[in-house]
Amino acid sequence: MRHDEAGDLELPPVRVPRVAAGACGLAIPVFEPSNEFAEFNTKYDYRVSGQVELSAQEKLGLDFFSGKAKCANWHSIGPPGAYPLWAVC
């Protein structure tokens, strides 16, 4: 494992074969409207709706998700209904 100057973990880029990426692109629109998809009942969802506060460690994770890790570039972090469930690139 490598860490950068700030001590943050450096992760290698993820490589996804085109076939897998294409299959995901077809599966996601079918899965999202199903009853098996997220019910928006996680602690994060409750935080977005103002029902709970995140712990200090959870806030660090959210900062990493939203910032340096760039997860929020692909996964929306707003309240349900205010964003598409999947970002299409």
Would you state the pLDDT for residue 86?
Answer: 46
Q: Are 74 and 87 in contact (CB under 8 A)?
A: yes
Average confidence (pLDDT) over 8-33: 73
Residue partners of 75: CB distance under 8 A and separation at least 6 = 65, 87
pLDDT tens for 62-82 read 899 888 988 878 776 766 556
pLDDT tens for 29-38 read 777 777 677 6
Quick check: pTM over 0.85? no
Q: Are 49 and 43 in contact (CB under 8 A)?
A: no
